[in-house]
């Protein structure tokens, strides 16, 4: 059974009163070739004759949901590992980070922060705040003449 079917069974498990009513009806009625139970009653009799049927269904439901959760976590883990692999093996990203390091070293030349071998990744959010300028002081892309 799949998890949805188990949940459906759990929703339709008879109460103690219903179980007692079914057991009383089973004792009162003679079942032979002319008198048979309807399929719904037959199913309920089969179900209530299973020892600890409610607990078993609950355990089965828990197991099924746990398996689904573990499968979801496995997919997420594979996605994360795939993303890490892309980052670690990306030549384009390596070039961009190298250019950023070179630009930072150039901008910080002559200061104690120049000639760095690396930088914190938190600096990446600040890169967009840098403004380009030419030696004459005009902004990059602006006209000087």
Average pLDDT for consecutive 10-residue bins of the chain (145 residues)? Answer: 89 88 83 76 86 92 93 97 96 93 86 83 81 54 39
Instruction: Describe the crossing of helices 39-48 and 16-28 by its angle, rounded to 10 degrees.
Output: 110
pLDDT at res. 92: 95
The reported pTM is: 0.52
pLDDT at res. 143: 39
| Sequence-distant (≥ 6) Cβ neighbours of residue 36 within 8 angstroms | 42
């Amino acid at each position: 059974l799949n998890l949805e079917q188990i949940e459906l069974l759990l929703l339709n498990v008879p109460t103690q009163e219903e179980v007692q009513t079914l057991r009383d009806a089973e004792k009162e009625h003679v079942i032979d070739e002319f008198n048979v139970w309807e399929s719904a009653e037959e199913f309920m009799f089969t179900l209530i004759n299973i020892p600890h049927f409610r607990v078993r269904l609950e355990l089965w439901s828990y197991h099924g949901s746990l398996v689904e959760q573990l499968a979801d976590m496995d997919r997420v883990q594979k996605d994360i590992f795939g993303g890490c692999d892309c980052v670690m093996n990306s030549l384009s990203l390596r070039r961009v980070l190298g250019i950023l390091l070179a630009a930072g070293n150039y901008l910080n030349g002559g200061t104690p922060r120049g000639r760095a071998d690396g930088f914190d990744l938190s600096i990446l959010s600040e890169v967009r705040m840098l403004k380009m300028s030419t030696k004459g002081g005009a902004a990059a892309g602006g006209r000087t003449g």
